[in-house]
Chains A and B, each alone.
Chain A
């Protein structure tokens, strides 16, 4: 790490940071304009830049860069193109689909030979499925744009080569895309040497900066750029840039050399490592190169003639530099691509290598094979490198292979010897299993900082998350050692394993990664002397066989005593330092306390005090367990899914749930990304410490609890009491009290293993016990005490028949909750404010529902495998769901409508054609029956059944076609679902266009007023005064009134709803939107963790939003115009509470007060004005009648 040349006078500064911060810290300082749009995994680069700008950190020229969040990556690209044309030093950060949206501008920026550097956390592109994880699919999709592509393989390189790229582009005038592997590098925390401003100034030539500025457009030196050219000149002019590309590689190498002169860290365009007489060489770029280097050096040290070429500058590809990097002894090359190009001869890097070798006829050509590895952050390990090298040693090595998977279909994969390991004895590996909510990852990042910055050791941390938002499991992989750590793969032989959650011992093989003799720290709810007898046999066996040292602590008890709730991070971190031996114990404890003071000092003394207490108490409650010589448990780890689960769930879902998805072969998977519904029900996560238990004597049967439950984990059912004869012990039932349903039984039932324990149901319950009002009709009680009884009760409850959907004359909040939800047990956050709407949608229209879902929270909890919450009813019907992209959801759903209509039209035509044989009357009814309402739909289904019966007797092709299309005669409800990021920002143009078409589509905007899924960036829905990322000081501008904009069309049904305020109005709005024959939009207030309060109070906060005029409720129905009524009906009363009362309950607002009290006061006043004006406008509109339409009336679809 030390500079060899000593050119830099000051001492090297080391820091622990992740790849995103490493790159952003350079980009920020080298830029004046930063135009971004959030996208995983690059978002932190933009967020850090924004935070630094808020903190008024200066760039290299003493100014604070202008950090601007745009409405999409397309918008960001346009802004950066403009800023570049204006002569500003400009950058951006993006990934994946975001990069694709920038392509048009990238061509322009390159075509105009613009000095520019952007940074990409390379990520998979959505194909058969979306993936947020890393590979090179995105950067390979822009290799033709004319950008230089420079690749970093590690956190240190992400920092260093960011600087090289910013420097080189100024001289080369070729724009640069600097990239590194998403997650594996962008999110890996490592100890690196950081560049100070003088280092950057040493590399970035101010004369070239001036030249860049000088090329900027200005009326003082006017030129024209961006002209159109014709066949006579375009071609030649296009070739005019060639010499810049020819010179670019040498310029980059020169910049690298100058960098080395300054820092002592040497880089090459293509860099060889390994045996000097290597015969087998791997060519690779990205973090995988680090793994290959570790492996070939390990093998070379043992005499194997192997090596690698690390590709850093992929574009412009310098054949000369590449060939020069190859050892003369070379006989075979394997080129590894981290992307897939279906149908191509080979992947891009492979093709370039082949071409480069082919173009040099004067050398003896080695054998070249290509292979794919590491798609979507698939692990890439030394064993896989060894397998590739072994393959190269064969006479006819496999070409176009895959490594890291088992392809049992087209047999591309290479076999791997999993026993091959190269972990170094001086590296301390540790693995921690935790929950997202318990703070494990944060504590581990802190530990890395303590060790990395407090000792001479190097440190590395990588964090694996599951796909859930509530109860998400995290696995932290930490390494510490005396040498730089170059192992970008998970820890396989951990000397320390911590399991921060007792329930994991029954769900996962938490000791799989434990090395023999390792220390095992377990958070157990049992005293040390009895914990052994509670462990399943598998865990006891691993402890005994591997001779592990077992330590236990009841961290939740300690946390409770310290007032920390479920935050056990500090406690477990203290235990780690106390028993792992990575640092002297006392020194480490002092460092933890110093870190607490530093991290939490500004949060206030209460926070610091609590955490200090936790540290002290942790040590008192940590105990070593004497491990018996033999295994005594007879209890085995229970199966993850019950034996009655469907075959698909057993074969795939269960394996993925067990964290063994890597072992599934290609043949196990659907070929086109099509998955069955109803899989979330098999994933019993047992997250809640406490669950709601029903007190039937107190209950008033309002069903509010079922309605607000984000996870459909508490349900209501009405049924014939005769069924109770087979009810299990403990099942509770009472007489149903409703005038229109006599002699029925009623039950409120919790799904004990699916509840997340969010308390929302208890908060909303209005019924109190008259003798002890502290108790309600549902009360939270310890889950373990009730689990067995409630599990059996719930099983019985699900088997009870569903109510006849046609039994209700009018659907309201209460009656809808007696309808079966076809959206259940999602992985959404505990207390999520979106999912109650989605659930309600499925209760109302689930059996005829098509959902186009914009990317975002709702697509993640809706469609992130291994399971999906969407499910089917007993007839096998349920929501058909798909996600296209973030930006196109309105158009995507619109297309679904067109398809439904096309097939219905076809069916109607066939009906007409076959009418004489089917029967005229039923054909008439099928074509024109009113299907609004359950009874109508039910009757139509019956007609379709009769139709099919009659078609069976008609043996003609049209009859067969009609038989296939007959279900389209039943009305379908097409819903376009997404968040405000989609509807207000990136998808707004499409949404606007779709709403302008008079087709029967329904839009549900789950308005959390922020980009929730990517971590709380502001959208145009963010209200004035709310702090969000890119609006840290509180959003300056008021929220866009999307509803009012949509009303301006006149033909669009618009509703604004909040389930916590007026549930019946929500039901009414959704039903009206569905029934409305044209476009409808329902904008739904959705509390979110990004609002910064305990979401158990989400319902009362919604009420406050309505009562203060922040969120007036209304329904704008163009049909009312025909009745001579005002189309807008205001459903909420005049404001009766000040907006201040609403704002002071949420941290997103209060944060502004903490940063700048005066600004907060001004924001409160402005927000009050906003609300007053908003309500005034609606009140006026609600009194406004407009003349009925006389032309172009829409027919009912």
Chain B
């Protein structure tokens, strides 16, 4: 039997395919289906501190604003003392998922404040998460805020959270960093056990009829994998944290490319949403088939084989695509 095992976030996984944060992990039935399909681990969808806080404030004001203003009604909604606007809903779900499945369950968090990152990460760990993925992406719109400040704050946060938690911490990054390897190395030193490349996020579209900005998020396809493979290959071997790919893995070959580029784990979301949780099994089978056809003995054998340090043409990873094509045109021209 083909050995697909891998080490990720301190866990020995039977294979690298894990279910990334998605609506599938918000439902206990689909979580069970993911496990049944053989997902090596499950990442829960993110707890968003900003969302939680805005709901806290909205809840507070929806209760308080009409209250105590009319003689016949001191309040308009019940307010039992056990009513809490904290992250209990998320934590309860995490606990339920943890109880329902045997595979490792990773919590996921998108914080906005230093205190929030730490507090919620601790709560997620206490609720039973086997590891936590910190989703550090945010849209920076303030022209006064520098890249250095943002990176410094993120590193400090990771350092604090990693030191406090007794479960491993993964950092899910966006591709928008000027010097990603340097930043990745800092996160590595700060205590990140893994880096996840990359977050996919809502992108604003413009509705020209309604003159509205509309957030959109389309399911990925394999073309999105290339960006990730590129950066996996660059980081692989340069940092000690394990690496995961997220975004664009739809078939066995996608997964194999990712592993060759240096991924220890392969997160799948869009492919599972499109094809159902059972698609994990399909991709795994495709991987095995490919490896058998190409006479690989184990996943470890191919891990990082195409990274920056080992691939036969590292300049292909360094140069921009534009120059590469230009040069090809030139070659073609001479041949002709």
Contacts and interface: CB of A to CB of B under 8 A. Distances in A.
Interface of A: 40-41, 43-44, 47, 50-51, 54-55, 132-133, 183, 187, 435-437, 439-442, 445, 463, 465, 468-469, 472, 474, 563, 565, 567, 600, 602-607, 610, 768, 770, 773, 829, 860, 1012-1016, 1027-1029, 1031-1032, 1088-1090, 1092-1094, 1147-1148, 1150-1151, 1153-1155, 1157-1158, 1160
Contacts of A50: 78
Interface string B80-96: 11111110110011001
A875 to B, nearest CB: 35
Given A55-B82, A183-B71, A1151 B119 contact: no
A1157 B88 contact: yes
B82 to A, nearest CB: 7
A1032 B80 contact: yes
Interface string B109-128: 00000011001000000000
Given A472-B69, A1090-B77, A1151-B78, A442 B62 contact: no
A829 B66 contact: yes
Given A1013-B73, A1016-B76, A1155-B80, A602 B62 contact: no
Given A567-B61, A1094-B62, A1147-B59, A606 B53 contact: yes
Interface string B177-218: 000000000000000000000000000000000011000000
Nearest to A1160: B89
A272 B115 CA distance: 62
A1147 B58 contact: yes
Closest 7 CB pairs of A and B: A436-B69, A1015-B73, A604-B56, A773-B211, A441-B68, A606-B53, A1089-B66
Given A604-B52, A1015-B76, A1153 B57 contact: no
Given A610-B57, A1013-B73, A1150-B59, A474 B83 contact: no
Given A437-B65, A1027-B77, 17 more contacts: A50-B78, A54-B78, A54-B80, A55-B80, A436-B66, A436-B68, A437-B69, A607-B57, A768-B211, A1012-B73, A1013-B73, A1014-B73, A1032-B80, A1089-B62, A1092-B62, A1094-B58, A1148-B77
B191 to A, nearest CB: 24
Interface string B36-67: 00000000000000001111111111111111
Contacts of A1032: 78, 80
20 contacts: A41-B71, A43-B73, A47-B78, A133-B71, A187-B71, A436-B68, A442-B68, A463-B68, A465-B69, A472-B70, A563-B57, A602-B84, A604-B56, A604-B85, A606-B57, A770-B211, A1012-B76, A1029-B78, A1089-B66, A1158-B96
B59 A55 contact: no
Contact of A442 (B54, B64, B86): B64
Given A606-B53, A829-B66, A1157 B89 contact: yes
A469 B71 CA distance: 9
A186 to B, nearest CB: 11
Nearest to A827: B70
B24 to A, nearest CB: 15
A441 B78 contact: no
Contact of B59 (A43, A1090, A1092): A1092
Interface residues of B, number: 45
B74 interface: yes
A469 B76 CA distance: 12
Nearest to B91: A1157
B72 interface: yes
Nearest to A772: B211
A244 to B, nearest CB: 38
B56 A607 contact: yes
B217 to A, nearest CB: 16
B74 A51 contact: no
B275 interface: no
A602 B59 CA distance: 11
B75 interface: yes
A43 B71 CA distance: 11
A607 B78 contact: no
Contacts of A1148: 77
B65 A567 contact: yes
B78 A1028 contact: yes
Contacts of A1155: 80, 82-83
Contact of A474 (B65, B68, B84): B68
Contacts of B75: 1015-1016
Nearest to A474: B69
A1092 B63 contact: yes
A305 to B, nearest CB: 40
Of A133, A468, A829, chain B has the most CB atoms within 10 Å of the CB of A829
A663 B237 CA distance: 88
A435 B68 CA distance: 9
Nearest to A51: B80
